Amino acid sequence: MQTKDRKKLSRIRQSLIELAQEVQELMPVFAERSPFMKGTVYEQNRKCGKPNCHCASGEGHSSMVLSRSEEGRTKLSVIPSGHLKDYQVLTERYQRFRRARARLGQIYKTMISLIDQLEESRRREN
């Protein structure tokens, strides 16, 4: 086998080890038991439509809302006062979980492709 190929295969093995380590690092995110909430929290500014309201000329009414997608539609709900911090913590936890899940998918896809290359390199025809 040529040196170039050997170097390439050695890089592939190293990448596999690194990816497996990354999977290990993701595991605590999946092992957690604390609850989370789907959606994102943001501030919404709306004009109420009453012609004499201050919002007609200036800034709209501000409220903190939870936005989430349900069956392909975006649902908004106003966050009850005093619950903003809770909602932020819960939704951030969910986003972290989903990011980790997506990353795990990418990692496994990459690992399989690297493993296929190793398989190719080790195969002997009889």
The residue ranges that bind Zn ion (CB under 5 A) are 48, 53, 55
CA distances to 31, 110, 113 from 106, rounded to whole Å, are 19, 6, 11
Residue 57 · residue 95 · CB < 8 Å: no
Taking the complex as a whole, the smallest distance from the CB of residue 17 to Zn ion amounts, in Å, to 60
Taking the complex as a whole, the smallest distance from the CB of residue 48 to Zn ion amounts, in Å, to 3
Measure the CA–CA gap between 108 and 115, rounded to whole angstroms: 10
Taking the complex as a whole, the smallest distance from the CB of residue 78 to Zn ion amounts, in Å, to 15
Tell me whether residue 55 or residue 79 sits nearer to Zn ion (CB atom).
55
Q: For the chain, give me the number of helices (H) and strands (E)? A: 2, 3
Tell me whether residue 33 or residue 50 sits nearer to Zn ion (CB atom).
50
Tell me whether residue 27 or residue 53 sits nearer to Zn ion (CB atom).
53
